[in-house]
Amino acid sequence: MTCLPVAIAIAVARLTGKGIHMIRLKTCQHAGIMLFGLAAPATARAAGAGLPQLDISTWPSQLFWLVVLFAAGYIIMAKLVTPRIGAVLEERRAKLDDDLGKARAASEDAAQTRAEYEADLDAARSAAAETAKTAAAEAAKKAEASDAKIAKKLADKVAKAEAKLATARSDALANLNDVAAEAAMVAVAQLADIKTTAAQAGKTADKLAAQMARQETN
Amino acid sequence: MSGSQGMHSPVAQFEIKPLIELSFGGYDLSFTNSSLFMALAVGISAVFLISAMRRAELVPGRMQGLAEMMYEFVAEMVRSNVGHEGRPYFPFIFTLFVFLLFGNMLGLIPYSYTFTSQIVVTFAMAAFVFVGVTLIALFKHGLHFFSFFVPAGAPKVLIPFLIVIEVISYFVRPVSLSVRLFANMLAGHTMLKVFAGLAVMISGAGGLAMAGSVLPFLALIGLTGLEVLVAALQAYVFTILTCMYLNDALHLH
């Protein structure tokens, strides 16, 4: 691996037919040494050839600017940056907690509302059933009452009609007696040549009729 | 070196070049290319984080989301590694992470400068963390702090040796912390430069040979991707180790 850059350089030089500048090759070798001598940067070669890090004359300036700039960075981070980001994160956490709390409360409210709604619905359902039952009972009662009234009316009518019929019948029967008496009187006059008055005939007919009625009832 | 040939040494990219000459009390405090990118890292991160949150909304947009993501990332790191007592140090840890992340990322832009590739910078930061964390521990626990170097439940005979080991490992912390970041940046950027230089060199050969430059160029693309990962990862590693040291200081194991 160390020789790889050198090997490539040589191969390239052979292919192109151009000579390799030794100074370039040296650079390459130097690089290889640097690459694999890193664990000991204070090797004689590195120190001698001037690893710039080991040039002590640059240290005061580096330390000075490190102190100044790191301190400036610290002040900026401590006074401006971290409080700001911390506040924003805290605000977000508070907001999230708040929102979660609100959501939980809303969810509980919704559950309670639902329970209330279901209770209401149950109550309404049973009330409706009750109402329907009473309505049905009332309707049945009313229907019964009107039935009774109609029945009574009809019975009255029937009774009246029967009474009328009875009078008509007795009237008819009474007339029948007169007709019978007249017929009997005419028949007696023509057959026996007995002249009877209408009054006599009527009396006899009535007597007969009473006799018949008596027999009928017996 | 080879500058006259149009080829730079792979480490030439780490050279410090003064942009504004400055000196104070005999010290050279020039504003350099390194300082410029340090200032850019602070400036760009500050402008980004402030402007992203300027019109902060309840439901964040892309920029705000990114800024909040960075904040939450570091906050979670502090929370899980240090706990509630780490809160006062959060701004420092956040600054540290942002500073290193932007520094490492800016350094990957061609012709920019990677100030985290300077051992003096990484060591100064690591030393600051080390001293700070030790002071916090001493201030909080007083002399009890030294019990930190005595592992609990160890056999009495071994305790002197263990104390030596613990003390050494404690004082090596700033070294390992700084060298890890420095070495990663140095290695990565050197490697990028080597492959880039190789591609340029081969293409300079002309003719058919130019096609050969495709190989190192492809390697360069892959390495750049890797370096983006390393840049983010090393910023994270430095920050999380700082959190762990802080946790040790606050809770002593």
Contact B28 A76 (CB under 8 A): no
CA distance A152 to A142: 15
Mutate to test the interface with B, among A62, A89, A90 (most CBs of B within 10 A): A62
- The tokens describing A26, both together, are 């040296």
CB pairs below 8 Å between A and B: how many?
201
Residue B114 included in any domain = no
| pLDDT tens for the 218 residues of chain A, in order | 344 444 444 444 444 444 444 344 444 444 444 444 443 444 434 444 578 888 888 999 999 999 999 999 999 999 999 999 999 999 999 999 999 999 999 999 999 999 999 999 999 999 999 999 999 999 999 999 999 999 999 999 999 999 999 999 888 888 877 787 788 778 878 887 777 777 777 787 778 778 877 887 76
Q: What range defines the domain where residue B97 resides?
A: 17-106+138-251
CA distance A199 to A203: 6
pLDDT tens readout for residues B100-153: 999 999 999 999 999 999 999 999 999 999 999 999 999 999 988 988 888 888
Does the pLDDT of residue B253 top 90, yes or no? no
Q: What percent of chain B has pLDDT over 70?
A: 96
Residue B4 included in any domain = no
Of A24, A31, A58, nearest to B194 by CB-CB distance is A31
Residue A24 included in any domain = yes
- Per-residue burial over B205-216, b if 16 or more Cβ lie within 10 Å, else e, is beeebeebbeeb
Tell me what pLDDT residue B11 has.
Answer: 86
What is the count of structural domains for chain B?
1
Please give the average per-residue pLDDT across B61-70, as a whole number: 92
Residue B121 included in any domain = no
Q: What range defines the domain where residue A13 resides?
A: 1-52
Q: What is the pLDDT confidence band of residue B8, given thresholds at 50, 70 and 90? A: low
- Cβ of A71 under 8 Å from any chain B Cβ? no
Residue B12 included in any domain = no
Window A:8-27, CB contacts with B under 8 Å: 8-9, 11-13, 15-16, 18, 21, 23-24, 26-27
Listed range (A146-155, B53-62, B187-196) with the worst mean pLDDT: B53-62
Decide: helix, strand or coil at residue B154: coil
Tell me what pLDDT residue A112 has.
Answer: 95
Does the pLDDT of residue B207 top 70, yes or no? yes
Contact A16 B32 (CB under 8 A): no
The long-range contacts involving B211-217, CB below 8 angstroms and separated by at least 24 positions, are B212/A8, B212/A11, B212/A12, B212/A15, B215/A8, B216/A5, B216/A8
Q: DSSP letters of B176-203?
A: HHHHHHHHHHHHHHHHHHHHHHHHHHHH
Residue B196 included in any domain = yes
- Cβ of B121 under 8 Å from any chain A Cβ? yes
Tell me what pLDDT residue A14 has.
Answer: 44
Calculate the average pLDDT of chain B.
91
Query: Rounded to two decimals, what is the model's pTM?
Result: 0.68
Query: What distance in Å separates residue A120's CA from the closest CA in chain B?
Result: 42
Does the pLDDT of residue B41 top 50, yes or no? yes
Tell me what pLDDT residue B91 has.
Answer: 96
Residue B59 per-residue DSSP state = S
Contact B39 A69 (CB under 8 A): yes
Query: What distance in Å separates residue A101's CA from the closest CA in chain B?
Result: 17
Residue type, position A191, single letter: L
Residue B11 included in any domain = no
Residue A199 included in any domain = yes
B241 versus A19: which is more confidently predicted? Answer: B241
CA distance B11 to B3: 12
Residue B211 included in any domain = yes
Residue with tokens 């639902």, as numbered in its chain: A114
Of A26, A46, A77, nearest to B98 by CB-CB distance is A77
Decide: helix, strand or coil at residue B146: helix
Tell me what pLDDT residue B224 has.
Answer: 95
Tell me what pLDDT residue A9 has.
Answer: 44
- The tokens describing B207, both together, are 């003719």
Please give the average per-residue pLDDT across B74-91, as a whole number: 94
What is the count of structural domains for chain A?
2
Does the pLDDT of residue B4 top 60, yes or no? no
Decide: helix, strand or coil at residue B26: coil
Residues of A in contact with B30 (CB under 8 A): 61
Listed range (A196-205, B78-87, B162-171, B194-203) with the worst mean pLDDT: A196-205
Window A:89-118, CB contacts with B under 8 Å: 89, 91-92, 95
